[in-house]
Structure 1
Amino acid sequence: MTDQTTNDYALGGLHHVQLAIPAGAEDLCRQFWGEVLGMTELEKPPVLAARGGCWFRGGGLEVHLGVEQEFSPARKAHPGILVRSLEGLARRLEECGHEVTWDDNFPGMHRFYAFDKLGNRLEFLEPKAA
């Protein structure tokens, strides 16, 4: 595959990742994304706040957690989140009661999987030293 250049548009990066949550689960999200991972909760615009859910930002990553009426956690689909000090994050998650499953099947990366408090799958990665 070759890179394609166009004058019509240019992709500029990822603004946010959205994960589904059930109605009323905002406090569980605040515990995981805010307290465990240390991200900062953002104030949602009033028109969007009325829908429920919550948003978090930290380390150049923004996560939007949106209410889905027929909620089912993402068990396969997941965000891949780059981390500095992956082992430190793994310890933090385990200390807070979240199981970490290491997987060395991604060349050039150390990585593990974990789940948020609602069962959404998350992948955390750190490039291996050269």
Structure 2
Amino acid sequence: MAIIGLDHVQLAIPEGGEGQARAFYAGLLGMTEVPKPTNLSPSGCWFTGGAVSLHIGVDPDFRPATKAHPALLVDDLAGLRARLVQAGCVTRDDKPVEGYVRFFTEDPFGNRIELMERMP
């Protein structure tokens, strides 16, 4: 028995935040919203981008994840950063990681998001 991959990452949002989640994850990050299975809670929303599946779930006792975070690989980090800054999102550099350029931002709910691009 062995772990063979990562199926999805789930982030929590407060009740009623689906519209803001769609604006951020689909509108700014360019992910695609996909339908949730009908047997699951109708709240929240799911997104995909490349090989990443991101599930956004409503938590009635929501607290943002300010340390734990997904790290999303992108193919145009500078362009994405410009789009986020233009939309009013704060971006923060961090210590370098060999082989990558990267920065952190937050979704509209304060969840920490790392965005990375592999260097050639």
Give yes or no for contact 1:40–1:56 (8 Å, CA) kept in 2.
yes
Identify the range of structure 1 (10-19 vs 113-122) with the bigger mean alpha-carbon deviation: 10-19
CA distance in structure 2 between the aligned counterparts of 1:69 and 1:88, rounded to whole angstroms = 35
Q: In the alignment, which residue of structure 2 is the partner of 1:61? A: 52
Letter of the 1:27 counterpart: G
TM-score normalised by the chain length of structure 2: 0.92
Task: Among all aligned residue pairs of Structure 1 and Structure 2, give the percentage whose two residues are the same amino acid.
Answer: 47
Report deviation, 1:10: 2.9
CA distance in structure 2 between the aligned counterparts of 1:117 and 1:83, rounded to whole angstroms = 20
CA distance in structure 2 between the aligned counterparts of 1:95 and 1:58, rounded to whole angstroms = 22
Q: Provide the aligned C-alpha RMSD in A.
A: 1.2
Q: Which runs of 5+ in 2 are unaligned?
A: none
TM-score normalised by the chain length of structure 1: 0.86
CA distance in structure 1 between the aligned counterparts of 2:41 and 2:107, rounded to whole angstroms = 21
Question: Is structure 2 residue 104 aligned with structure 1 residue 113?
Answer: yes
Q: In the alignment, which residue of structure 1 is the partner of 2:28? A: 36
Q: Deviations over 1:5-34 (max 9, x none)?
A: xxxx23221111100011111001011011
Give yes or no for contact 1:103–1:110 (8 Å, CA) kept in 2.
no
Q: In the alignment, which residue of structure 1 is the partner of 2:80? A: 89
From 3, 24, 27, give the equivalent of 1:11: 3
Larger Rg: 1
Letter of the 1:71 counterpart: F
Q: Secondary structure at the match of 1:101?
A: coil
Question: Is structure 2 residue 72 aligned with structure 1 residue 76?
Answer: no
Q: Which runs of 5+ in 1 are unaligned?
A: 1-8
**Structure 1 stretches of at least 4 aligned residues deviating more than 3 Å after TM superposition:** none
Question: Is structure 2 residue 89 aligned with structure 1 residue 98?
Answer: yes
Q: Deviations over 1:32-52 (max 9, x none)?
A: 0111111111111112133x1
